[in-house]
Amino acid sequence: MKDKFSGQLDLTRLFDPAVAPLMIESLALRAEHVARDDDAVCAVLGSPTFGDKAAGASSSAAGIASELLKGWHTDGAEVASRIRGAYALVIVDARRECVFMAVDRFAIQTLCYRVDDQMLAFSDRADCVQGGSEEFDPQAIFDYLYFHMIPAPRTIFKGVRRLPAANALLVDRQGVHEIRHWPLRFDEHHRQPFEASRDVFRKLIRNAVSDEISGHPRVGAFLSGGTDSSTIVGMLCEVTGQAAPAYSIGFAAEGYDEMEYARLAAKHFGCQHHEYYVTPADLLASIPAVARHHDQPFGNSSALPAYYCAKMAAADGCSKMLAGDGGDELFGGNSRYATQRLFEFYQALPASLRQRVEPLCADDSVLRRIPVLRQATGYVRHSRVPMPDRLQSFNLLMQLDPAKVLTGDFLAQVDLGEPSRHMQASWSECRAPSLINRMLAYDWRYTLADSDLPKVRGATEMAGLAVGYPLLSDRLTDFSMALPANWKLRRFKLRWFFKEALRGYLPDKIISKSKKGFGLPFGVWATRNPALKELAEDSLHNLARRGIVRADFIDRLLTEHLPAHPGYYGEMVWILTMLEQWLRGHEKAQLQGNRET
Confidence of residue 88 (pLDDT cuts 50, 70, 90): very high
* Domain presence at residue 108: yes
Q: Which residues contact 1 (CB under 8 A, 6 or more apart)?
A: 125, 127, 292, 293, 295, 461
Domain stops at, among 492, 512, 532? 512
* Domain presence at residue 425: no
Measured CA to CA, the distance from residue 107 to residue 167 in angstroms comes to 9
Q: Which residues contact 41 (CB under 8 A, 6 or more apart)?
A: 24, 27, 29, 34, 35, 69, 91, 92
pLDDT value at 316 more than 90: yes
Same domain, 26 and 128: yes
> Minimum mean pLDDT among 377-391, 433-447, 517-531, 583-597: which range?
583-597
DSSP secondary structure code for residue 514 in this structure: P
pLDDT value at 54 more than 80: no
Same domain, 111 and 199: no
Mean per-residue pLDDT, 107-113: 96
Q: What is the pLDDT of residue 26?
A: 66
Same domain, 310 and 450: yes
* Domain presence at residue 19: yes
* Domain presence at residue 543: yes
Confidence of residue 62 (pLDDT cuts 50, 70, 90): low
Same domain, 215 and 134: no
Same domain, 565 and 498: no
pLDDT value at 261 more than 60: yes
The tens digit of pLDDT for each residue in 371-429 reads 878 888 888 888 899 999 999 999 999 999 999 999 999 999 999 999 999 999 999 99
pLDDT value at 50 more than 60: yes
> Minimum mean pLDDT among 8-17, 122-131, 327-336, 527-536: which range?
8-17
Same domain, 90 and 202: no
Same domain, 83 and 164: yes
CATH at 63: 3.60.20.10
- Beta strands 119-123 and 112-115 are antiparallel
- Beta strands 466-468 and 489-490 are unpaired
Domain stops at, among 134, 152, 180? 180
Q: What is the pLDDT of residue 595?
A: 62
Same domain, 44 and 120: yes
Same domain, 64 and 84: yes
Q: Give the H or E element holding residue 90.
A: strand 87-93
* Domain presence at residue 82: yes
* Domain presence at residue 345: no
Q: What is the pLDDT of residue 518?
A: 53
Mark 29-43 as b/e (b = at least 16 C-beta within 10 Å): bbbbbbbbeebbbbb
* Domain presence at residue 409: no
Coil vs helix vs strand at 97? coil
Measured CA to CA, the distance from residue 11 to residue 34 in angstroms comes to 20
Same domain, 36 and 172: yes
Which of residues 366 and 326 earns the better pLDDT score?
326
Structural domain boundaries enclosing 200: 194-332+439-512
Q: What is the pLDDT of residue 516?
A: 56
Same domain, 137 and 198: no
pLDDT value at 58 more than 80: no
Same domain, 24 and 167: yes
* Domain presence at residue 122: yes
| Pair 523, 566: CB distance under 8 Å | yes
Domain stops at, among 468, 487, 512? 512
Mean per-residue pLDDT, 42-54: 79
pLDDT value at 134 more than 50: yes
Q: What are phi and psi of 506, to 5 degrees?
A: -95, 155
Number of domains the chain is built from: 3
Measured CA to CA, the distance from residue 540 to residue 561 in angstroms comes to 14
